[in-house]
Structure 1
C-alpha cells in the first residue's frame, strides 16, 4: 500500500501554506489586533475560522466521522479542482472518468492542464470496469465516479466501485451529490478501509442550499491535510458557516423534503409514461429523471418558449434524444406534464 505522499505533486509536498494568526492561535481572545480588520461592524468585520472547526465538529457527529476527515469547499467544484492541484502534474499526469457524467471533472482537468480520459458506460448506463482498468496507466492519478450518476441517475454497485478502489494506484473520488435520494449507503462509512478514497457530498441538493455554495469532501486525514495546505485561507465565509450550523439542526426537516421529492418523482414518472412522445423514462436514484423523447430538441425549445426550463442532454454520449428533468413541486411537475400533453 502506497503512502498518500507518493501520489502528491512534489511542489505541494514542499509547500509552506499561508498561515494567518487565526491558524496559529487557539482559544478565546478579548482583543484582536492581528489581521488588519476594522474594529467596527461586528461580527462581519472579522475573518472567519479558516478551518471551520465548529462546523466540522457538528458535521462529523452527524456523518459518523472525525473532523479530521472533512474538507469544506465552495461547492463540490472547489474540492474537485484542488484534487487536480494536489495530485496531478500538468502535462504529465492524467485523470480517468466515465461518460456521460458530471462535466466539471473535465473542465477542472482542462483548467489545470491535465489529460482527461473518458470511458463510456455500457448501453444500460452500467460501469465497464474492465475498460476503466485498461485505460489507466502509471500516470493516472485520479478516478472520478459519480454515483448516483449525473445525468443518468443510476447508482453503481458497491462491488464494482470496490474493485476499482482496490485496483487503482491513485485517488478514487466517489461523488455522492445525490446520495440522499438513494437507498444505497454512503461510501463515507468505509473511509477507514480505503486510504485512497475521497467521497464528495454537497449542501446544494437534498439540503436545499445551492445558493450557499458549500461542498464537502470526506477522506483520510492525510488527504484532508493536503486540502488544507492548498486551499485559500478563508474559503468559507462566516455567514455560510453560521447558516450550515443552523441547517444541520434541521436534519429531520430535510428528510421530509427528500421524502416529498421522492413521492413527487414517483407520481411524475407514472404520469410521464402515458405521454405518447415519451419513449423511455430511465430509473433514477436522484432528484431528477432522464427521459428519452421523440424529437427532444424541438420539445426542449418549445418548453423554453413556454417558460419551462429543463436540461437538454441530447448531444451527450449515450443520451441521444434525452432531456434531464429535475423534480420540483407537484405544481411544477403538473405544469410540465400538461404542457407536454398540449404538444401531442
Structure 2
C-alpha cells in the first residue's frame, strides 16, 4: 500500500517540506508568542438559523464591510480562507505549472514558496539587502516571473518597504507581472498601505487579513484587493463556498464601526506593548534587536539561541526560531502579548542568562 501511494503521488511533491506552522511545531504551551496572534479574544453573536444552508460564495456584508474599511470598491475585493488562500489563488490563476515562476525576497513569509512548490511553479529568489530593504535592481532583472511577492511590513523583519521601491517595481512590471503587496500587519504600522493605489496600478494586488489586528486568526478570513479584471479571474478559480456562514457573521461584525473602533483601540495598546517589549529586550546585553518594529512582533538575535529556545519551551513559553532564513542567523521572533505574557517572557530570559553567568 505504501509503495502504491508513493507511486501515485505527484512527482513534484516528493521533496516538498510543508510549512512549519506554530501548531505543527508545538502542540502545547502555557504562553503562545510564536504565531503573531493577538492576545485579545473578542466576543461575537451567532445566528444558527441558516447553518443548514450553503453560504454565499462572497458574503455581501463582508465584502462591503471590507471595501469600506480599505477604501476600495466592492468589485475590487474577494474574501478567502485567510490570506494564505489568496496567495494560492493568485498562483493557481496566473501561473502555469511546470512553466512559470514567482519571485520572493527572503527573509520573508514562507507560504509564498510553499504554495508555489505545491502548484509546481518555479521560485526566483532575490534576497533582501543587509538593511532588509528590497534589491530593486536585482528584482527588475528577473523578467521571467508572473508574480512578485512583497511583504510590507515584512514578516519576520518587521520592516516597511520603501514606497518608491514599490512604485519602481510596479512600473517596471506593469506589462509583465502582477506585484502582490502582502499587508497582513499594516494596522500596526504608521503607514496607510497600498489599497488605495489599486486604480493607479492595474498590476497591483494587496493581501489583507483579519488574523492579526482584528484578533480573528481562528476564523481564517482574508482579503485580496485588486482591479476588477484580476478579481474576475480569481473568482473562476476560488472554491464554491470559501467562507463558512459563522465566519461571515463574525467578520461582518468585526468590520462594523464598533468593531473597527475596538480594533484601533487594541492595536494602540499592542503598539505600546511592543515598545515595552523592545525596551526590555534592549536592556539585555546578550540580545540584539534586528529589523524594525512595524508589526506585532519583535525579532532579536541571541548567540545562545538554541539553549535559550530550549529553556523557554521547557517552561511553556513558545516563541519562533527564524534562524533558518537568509541573513537571520541566531534570530528569534517573539509576538507582542499582554502584560503577563511579556513579563513572564522577560523574566524567563533574565533567569536564563543569570543562571548561565553563574554557571
Band the TM-score falls in, shorter-chain normalisation = 0.7 to 0.9
What is the match of residue 184 of structure 1?
191
What is the match of residue 287 of structure 1?
296
Aligned-pair RMSD on alpha carbons? Answer: 1.1
What is the match of residue 75 of structure 2?
68
Do residues 45 (structure 1) and 52 (structure 2) align?
Answer: yes
Q: Deviation per CA, 1:202-225: give whole Å up to 9, x if none.
A: 000000000000000000001111
Query: 2:211–2:217: 8 Å Cα contact kept in structure 1?
Result: yes
Distance in 2 (alpha carbons) for counterparts of 1:287 and 1:215? 18
What are the residue-to-residue correspondences of 1:152-191 with 2, within 5 Å?
152-168=157-173, 169-191=176-198
Determine which of 145, 165, 184 is the counterpart of 2:150: 145
What is the match of residue 5 of structure 1?
none
The change in CA–CA distance for 1:172 and 1:281 in structure 2 (over 3 A counts) is: closer
What are the residue-to-residue correspondences of 1:117-128 with 2, within 5 Å?
117-128=124-135
TM-score by length of 2: 0.82
Distance in 1 (alpha carbons) for counterparts of 2:182 and 2:101? 18
Query: 1:100–1:316: 8 Å Cα contact kept in structure 2?
Result: yes
What is the match of residue 85 of structure 1?
92
Distance in 1 (alpha carbons) for counterparts of 2:213 and 2:49? 32
TM-score by length of 1: 0.86
What is the match of residue 322 of structure 2?
313
The change in CA–CA distance for 1:281 and 1:85 in structure 2 (over 3 A counts) is: closer
Distance in 2 (alpha carbons) for counterparts of 1:343 and 1:42? 53
What is the match of residue 284 of structure 2?
275
Distance in 2 (alpha carbons) for counterparts of 1:208 and 1:280? 25
Alignment partner of 1:120: what SS? coil
1:78 Cα deviation (Å)?
Answer: 0.6
What is the match of residue 338 of structure 1?
347
Query: 2:296–2:336: 8 Å Cα contact kept in structure 1?
Result: yes
What is the match of residue 6 of structure 2?
none
Higher relative contact order structure (alpha carbons within 8 Å, sequence separation ≥ 6): 2
Q: Which moved more, 1:51-60 or 1:105-114?
A: 51-60
Query: 2:131–2:291: 8 Å Cα contact kept in structure 1?
Result: no
Q: Deviation per CA, 1:65-103: give whole Å up to 9, x if none.
A: 111000100001111001111111111111011011000
> Which runs of no fewer than 5 residues in structure 2 stay unpaired?
1-47, 354-359
Query: 1:279–1:294: 8 Å Cα contact kept in structure 2?
Result: no
What is the match of residue 30 of structure 1?
none
Alignment partner of 2:317: what SS? coil
Determine which of 219, 222, 226 is the counterpart of 1:219: 226
Query: 1:280–1:293: 8 Å Cα contact kept in structure 2?
Result: no
Distance in 1 (alpha carbons) for counterparts of 2:150 and 2:272? 27
1:280 Cα deviation (Å)?
Answer: 3.2
Distance in 2 (alpha carbons) for counterparts of 1:342 and 1:51? 51
Distance in 1 (alpha carbons) for counterparts of 2:122 and 2:290? 34
Alignment length, in residue pairs?
A: 302
Determine which of 323, 337, 343 is the counterpart of 1:328: 337
Q: Which moved more, 1:56-65 or 1:110-119?
A: 56-65
Determine which of 136, 146, 152 is the counterpart of 1:129: 136
Determine which of 235, 241, 245 is the counterpart of 1:234: 241
Q: Deviation per CA, 1:183-203: give whole Å up to 9, x if none.
A: 011100111000110000000
Query: 1:148–1:156: 8 Å Cα contact kept in structure 2?
Result: yes
Distance in 2 (alpha carbons) for counterparts of 1:294 and 1:232? 46
